[in-house]
Amino acid sequence: MPTASIVVPAYNAEATLAETLTSLQAQTYDDFEIIIVDDGSQDATARIARAHLGDPRVRLVQQANRGLAGARNTGIAAARGTFIGFCDADDLWMPEKLAAHIHHLKAEPDVGVSYSGSALIDEAGCTMGIKQAPRLKDVTAAHVLNRNPIGNGSAAVVRKTVLEALAYRPSFETERDWVFDETFRQSEDIECWMRLMLSTDWQIEGVPGLLTHYRIKAGGLSAALDRQLEAWERMVAKLRPLNPEFFARHELSARAYQLRYLARRAITNLDRDTAWELFARSVQESLRPVLEEPLKSSSTFAAALVLKTLGPGPITRLGQMKTKLQSI
């Protein structure tokens, strides 16, 4: 049995899958398996995956499309490792990533999820000079709800026992358990990690370094931001009964953080009205983000204001503006 399993959910990922797999095969920690879950792709994903099966550590599971959460769940069900990592089929792991997390989890028995920061890369795979550098220590449920430190789907390595504690089987499911909630098409990560924080006694903790290269796709529509907000609200509504007192205390500020995050996404999309509206709603919801992170809030405000009054020109021209909008 391998010590670790890396689950790679892949849907129409022909452009990036090979690069992702190469980065995983190059891990310095060598006792692991890679489980590619082809989630009903219509492109060359399966062919590219098969080309890697010459490496005995690589396995391929194929299924009719179930979405990202469904692909991860299938990967978890197939995984044999004591530690299970996730890497989406367009992201990259730095060579020392798995080693760092396995070392961390073995040294810290109270930690159930080990994660790291990420560097953002563009579609061509070039680093954008933007990073996700989350809080690493003393992470509470409130931190996760406000500013999920497990910033993307390729950041975490999790103990199998933790995933078992989170697993459940909806009455209509006939094949295997769910860990990630497959009814979510967005916010499936934060739903899972918040459920972990509210329903188990595991601690989560990060290791230093930007050990994931997380790919940002250009564009993105305002409709997608709306759906993201909707999914976030559904996550809150679903989890509130687990600890109503917790949500009573933290929900407003968390929503303000979420709205500010979406406002920043709208700014990068140069969507003037959406950006302004989301930022205004964030401030109406709670001033906590402004008080806790005044620089980030004021740069968001400035950018949204410039975009609103002067249009996209200055934003696109001013490269330094982009630097200020780092770590979205």
In the block, tokens 């769940």 appear at: 73
Least separation in angstroms between CB 176 and another protein: 21
Cα–Cα distance measured from residue 67 to residue 162, given in angstroms and rounded to the nearest whole number: 22
Question: How many CB atoms within 10 Å of residue 204?
Answer: 24
**Least CB distance from residue 207 to another protein, whole Å?**
15
Cα–Cα nearest to 156, from 227, 204, 220, 110? 204
**Contacts with another protein, residue ranges (CB under 8 A):** 108-111, 138, 140-142, 198-203, 205, 241, 243, 245
Which residue shows structure tokens 């220590």? 137
How many CB atoms neighbour CB 284 within 10 A? Answer: 11
| Least distance to another protein, CB of residue 37, Å | 30
Taking the CB of residue 30, how many other CB atoms lie within 10 A of it?
A: 12
Smallest gap, in angstroms, from Cβ of residue 257 to another protein? 17
**Which of 28, 20, 27, 26 lies closest to 36, judged by CA?**
20
- Shortest distance (Å) from residue 97 CB to another protein: 22
How far, in Å, CA of 134 to CA of 151, rounded? 7
Q: Which is nearer to another protein, 104 or 131 (CB)?
A: 104
| Closer CB to another protein, 108 or 226, in the complex | 108
Q: For 49, which DSSP code?
A: H
310 Cβ contact partners less than 8 Å away, ≥ 6 residues apart: none
For helices 244-268 and 272-285, angle between their N-to-C axes, nearest 10 degrees: 160
Closest approach of another protein to the CB of residue 145, in Å: 12
Please, which residue, 244 or 311, has the CB nearer to another protein?
A: 244
**Token pair belonging to 2:** 């391998």
Distance CA 61, CA 287 (A): 47
Distances (CA, A) of 8 to 100, 131, 202, 242: 19, 22, 24, 30
Are residues 25 and 95 in contact, defined by beta-carbon separation less than 8 angstroms? no
Q: In the complex with another protein, which residue's Cβ is closer, 64 or 110?
A: 110
Q: From its phi and psi, is residue 129 left (phi > 0), alpha (psi between -120 and 50) or beta?
A: left
Cβ proximity to another protein, 198 vs 231, nearer residue:
198
Rounded to whole angstroms, how far apart are CA atoms 45 and 296?
39
In single-letter form, the type of residue at position 155 comes to A
Alpha-carbon distance 111 to 189, whole Å? Answer: 18
